Structure 1
Amino acid sequence: MAPNSLTERNDEMNVQPREETRSNERFIRPAVNIIETDEGLFVTADLPGAAKESIDVNVEKGVLTISAPASHTMAGTPVYREFELGSYFRQFTIPESLDHGQAKADFANGILTLRIPKAEIAKPRRIEVQVS
């Protein structure tokens, strides 16, 4: 059977050599939902296996970074394992019109919830028209 040239070409394009300056550590991209409302951003991230104390959320130069190590907490020697836990890492560019100082983060049942309100100046408002 003749090789599929489209498949070969896609395989060749997906091969990327590892940069020597990068860490060998593997990261998991957590599933994230981002919802924008008139009040601000509402972000939820799925971080199963992460401990509340180890989660790092920060905003620097308009980039929201979520990172957390995750590990197995059960005592004993694994006999059979179908999935591995690793460190979570995800970054997003967010608008500067948000009030990062008023941001709130909650973590429960493996779900990180962030609420980042818009700065007062960025919130939409209605201007009354005066009749003279």
Structure 2
Amino acid sequence: MAGNVMVNNAPSPARGEETRSYRHVVAPAVDIVEYEEGLMLVADLPGAGKESLEVSVDQGVLTIAAEAPEAMPGRTLFTEFELARYRRQFRISDELDHAKARADFVNGVLTLRIPVAEAAKPRKIEVKVS
């Protein structure tokens, strides 16, 4: 499984371009970790709410999209991140079981775990002696 699970910057699926809007679209910071049982992706989506979060897989392309309000309540004194529409896409391997993916969203951080499909897991073949 090593090396062929993900390739960054996947092309948009055939649904058409969704990034045209009056608001700027930001690619969120993402960490991707591959381990024996599957893949873990952690994405920072500051200010986004669960109700605006969309995670989908279509034609082998994983899409993460969310929207944060244009401004936080109160008076901004200092900021290091941009509140915006977030969108990021990755091409993912067929060796992953998309149907068993699990996503958690806590305090603006999305953690997505996608296990390796059973058919792609290595297995031992018993040799019988006759």
Identify the TM-score tier after normalising by the shorter chain. 0.7 to 0.9
Q: Tell me which amino acid in the other structure corresponds to 1:50.
A: A
Q: Which has the higher contact order (CA 8 A, sep 6+)?
A: 2
Give the distance between the partners of 2:76 and 2:93, measured in 1 at CA: 47
Partner of 1:16: none
**Matched residue SS, 2:62:** strand
TM-score, normalised on structure 1?
A: 0.73
Partner of 1:103: 101
Q: Percent identity?
A: 55
Moved over 3 A (4+): 78-84
The structure whose residues are more often strand, as a share, is: 2
Q: 1:80 to 1:37 in 2, by over 3 A?
A: closer
Counterpart pick for 1:23 among 17, 20, 38? 20
The structure whose residues are more often helix, as a share, is: 1
Give the distance between the partners of 1:127 and 1:30, measured in 2 at CA: 43
Two-structure CA RMSD over aligned residues (Å): 1.9
Q: Provide the aligned length of Structure 1 versus Structure 2.
A: 109
Give the distance between the partners of 1:70 and 1:87, measured in 2 at CA: 6
After superposition, give the CA deviation of every residue in 1:59-102 in whole Å (9 maximum; x if it has no partner): 0000000000012341x5x4666554101110000011221111
TM-score, normalised on structure 2?
A: 0.74
Shift of 1:121: 0.3
Q: Which runs of 5+ in 2 are unaligned?
A: 1-18
Q: Which runs of 5+ in 1 are unaligned?
A: 1-21
